[in-house]
């Protein structure tokens, strides 16, 4: 009986080890990011599983808390995401990849990468990525990020947020429509409002 129990324990430990098998993350080259423009990012993980969740965490280099995007799967363990548009003052972006399992465990992470934001950077997006760039869902890592802009990135294209508890909501800052433009009376309108003191009744 003791031998059988030991055998079952070893089998269980072996299964747990297989589930927790570390994932190796490989990033494609990202030479630059365009100022006020989107850029795609591609990564690969090995081994891969359809149950894994791959996220890219990013921020302006050494500025504040991280944000993240959930990456979209391709074939053979590859994933892609479209990064938001950096603001003019955002000269360097740092990012890394996190691979999580279905139970929330960490399976693999990449090293932190740095990429420069330049005026002459050219980034090509597919039609699907163009659509994605107009419907970005940005994840938050700190409660203070709620209701505030994605720091050092433009609002353009950001429509939803993922809160720290995983809830998805419309963007509290970027998703708010601008106030209506103030009504300015033109010269034509001004001329129609004639001063009564200037009018004279016509004679017989």
The model's confidence at residue 183, banded by pLDDT at 50, 70 and 90, is low
The model's confidence at residue 76, banded by pLDDT at 50, 70 and 90, is confident
Q: What is the pLDDT of residue 176?
A: 67
Residue 88 lies in a domain: yes
Residue 15 scores a pLDDT above 90: no
Residue 154 lies in a domain: yes
pLDDT, tens digit, 9 for 90 and up, residues 118-148? 999 999 999 999 999 999 999 999 999 999 9
Please state the three-class secondary structure of the chain as a single string: CHHHHHHHHHHHHHHHHHHCCCCEEEECCCCCEECCCCEEEEEEEECCCCCCEEEEEEEECCCCCCEEEECEECHHHEEEEEECCECCCCCEEEEEEEEECCCCCEEEECCCEEEEEECCCCCCCCHHHHHHHCCEEEEECCHHHCCCCCCCECCCCEEEEECCCCCEEECCCCCCCCCCCCCCCCHHHHHHCCCHHHCCCCCC
Residue 148 lies in a domain: yes
What are 160's two structure tokens?
């939803």
Q: What is the pLDDT of residue 22?
A: 87
Query: How many domains is the chain partitioned into structurally?
Result: 1
Instruction: List the CATH number of the domain containing 103.
Output: 2.60.40.10
Containing structural domain, residue 156: 21-176
Residue 183 lies in a domain: no
Q: What is the mean pLDDT of the chain?
A: 84
What are 136's two structure tokens?
């970005």
- Higher confidence at residue 77 or residue 67? 67
Residue 198 lies in a domain: no
Distance between CA atoms of residues 202 and 204, nearest Å: 7
Residue 6 scores a pLDDT above 60: no
The model's pTM: 0.78
């Amino acid at each position: 009986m003791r031998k059988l129990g030991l055998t079952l324990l070893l089998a269980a430990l072996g299964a747990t080890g297989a589930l927790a098998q570390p994932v190796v993350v490989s990033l494609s080259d990202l030479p630059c990011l365009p100022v006020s423009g989107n850029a795609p990012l591609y990564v690969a993980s090995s081994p891969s599983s359809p149950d894994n969740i791959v996220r890219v965490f990013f921020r302006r280099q050494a500025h504040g808390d991280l944000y993240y995007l959930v990456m979209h799967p391709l074939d053979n363990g590859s994933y892609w995401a479209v990064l938001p548009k950096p603001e003019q003052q955002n000269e360097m972006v740092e990012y890394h990849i996190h691979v999580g399992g279905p139970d929330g465990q960490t399976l693999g992470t990449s090293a932190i990468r740095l990429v420069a934001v330049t005026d002459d950077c050219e980034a090509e997006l597919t039609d699907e990525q163009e659509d994605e760039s107009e419907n970005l869902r940005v994840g938050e890592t700190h409660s203070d990020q709620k209701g505030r802009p994605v720091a050092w990135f433009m609002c353009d294209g950001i429509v939803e947020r993922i809160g720290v508890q995983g809830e998805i909501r419309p963007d509290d800052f970027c998703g708010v429509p601008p106030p209506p433009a103030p009504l300015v009376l033109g010269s034509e309108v001004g001329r129609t409002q004639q001063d009564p003191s200037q009018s004279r009744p016509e004679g017989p």
